[in-house]
Every structure is written in C-alpha cells, then in structure tokens.
Amino acid sequence: MERLTRDQIAQRLAQDIEEGAYVNLGIGLPTKVANYLPKEKEVFLHSENGVLGMGPAPEKGQEDWDLINAGKQPVTLLPGGSFFHHADSFAMMRGGHLDICVLGAFQVSRHGDLANWHTGEPDAIPAVGGAMDLAAGARAVYVMMELLTRDGKSKLVDQCTYPLTGLKCVSRIYTDYAVFQIEGDGVVRVVDDCSGAGQQELIRLTDLDLVF
C-alpha cells in the first residue's frame, strides 16, 4: 500500500475532467488540479471573482494585482478568456452552468453532505465565501482531501459533525487512499483503490459498508 501525495491526488482527479468542461477549483488544495490538466485538452477554468479562461500563474515580476483568483493570488488570462461582475459570476455557479467544482473538506458524509467552511469552535471566525454557492449550484461537486485527520479519524463519515456547507451535494471524493463515489441512499462505492489499501483496510479506516 502506498498513499498518494497531495500532488498525486490532484493528478488523479485531473484525469477525470473532460475536454470542454467548465470547472471551478476551490481555494487551497484543489488549485493544484490546474497543474495536471493535460495540455492537449481545453478546459475552462472559472474563478468566482469574475474570470473565465484562467491561465497559469504569471512569471515572477509579471504579477498584476487586478488579475487574481479566488485565493487572491495573481493569475493570467488565456486568449478567449473573459471578465464579468460578481452577480454574473455567481449566476454561472448557482444557475448550474459549471460542470464541476472541486472543493476541500473537513468531512463528507456517505449521503454526500459536505462540511468545509466552519469548525464550529466558539472562538472561530466564520467565513463562508462562495463554498455554499458552489455546493448548491455546480452540476458535480468533487471533494479532494486526505482521508484521515491528523489523529487518524476518517473524514468520510456516516454523519457530519461539523457545520454543513451543503446537503447531498458531493458526488466524488478523491483521497490519498481511494476514489469514492456517492451513489445515493447512503451507498458509497470505491471506484479506484489507487493506494492499493484493499477492501478490508478501506472498510476498517472509514467504518462504512463500502461497495466495491
């Protein structure tokens, strides 16, 4: 068994994005996916702050702070790219025009409930950004995360204990152990045991009745 690195998870997810897809990559880990989209495929990257057709990070010294992504990092625009205001940008997200969004998560339940915006701790400062809009609006919500917390608890759970971002919205979960598909009625299928952990180990780690 060999767990995937974060970059390998991004690479594995990138394989499942088809040419022509309109895709939003959430801030943090999901932005790594952009590095692994095959050059021969045209994929439209959307950012919530009003850009479609986003290109890679600029060369050092070429940063334009009026051209940034949702994580407020400088980016570039591909030929054919466009800019638009926030209400239009979120019409793309909430109106079901994005094919895929990729988000990080604290927890995902076997029903596809997502928790990724708030730890619920009393002194935590809540910040939601566009996460709830993406969860509710994108046609497919993919989660990218490490399967276990630092103390070894599964983040793929029976019921989320953290505050929810969206209900029954996640369809796939890409982790360092395996790719899981949420199939409805609480059924979770392992579609790719990419670490070679094996059925018994994945069931033991998640404590769920996984389907293979």
Partner 1 sequence: MINKIVPSVQEAVAGIKDGATVLVGGFGGAGQPMALIDALIAQGAKDLTIVNNNAGNAEIGLAALMKAGQVRKIICSFPRQADSYVFDELYRAGKLELELVPQGTLAERVRAGGAGIGGFYTRTGVGTMLAEGKAVRTIDGEDYLFEAPIKADVAFIKAKCGDRWGNLTYNKTARNFGPVHATAAGMTVAQVDEIVELGEIDPEAVVTPGIFVQRVVAVQS
Query: Which residues are annotated as catalytic?
Result: 48
Residue 17: DSSP 8-state: P
Work out how close the CB of 34 gets to partner 1 at its nearest, in angstroms, rounded to a whole number.
16
Q: Is 3 in the site for partner 1 (CB under 8 A)?
A: no
Distance in Å, CB of 132 to partner 1, minimum: 4
Minimum distance of partner 1 from residue 166's CB (angstroms): 7
**Hey, which bits of 84-203 come out as E strands?**
100-103, 107-109, 114-115, 140-144, 156-157, 170-174, 179-182, 188-192
As a 3-state breakdown, the chain gives helix, strand, coil percent values, each rounded to 5, of 20, 25, 55
Q: Is 93 in the site for partner 1 (CB under 8 A)?
A: yes
109 lies in the site for partner 1, by CB under 8 A: no
Residue 139: what are its φ and ψ, rounded to 5°? -65, -35
Q: Which of 11, 63, 118, 191 binds partner 1 (CB under 8 A)?
A: 118
Query: What is the number of helices (H) and of strands (E) in the chain?
Result: 4, 12
Q: Using an 8 Å Cβ cutoff, are 33 and 13 in contact?
A: yes
- Per CB under 8 A, 83 contacts partner 1: yes
Residues making contact with partner 1 (CB under 8 A): 47-51, 64-68, 72, 77, 83-87, 89-90, 93-94, 113, 118, 123, 125-133, 135-137, 163-167
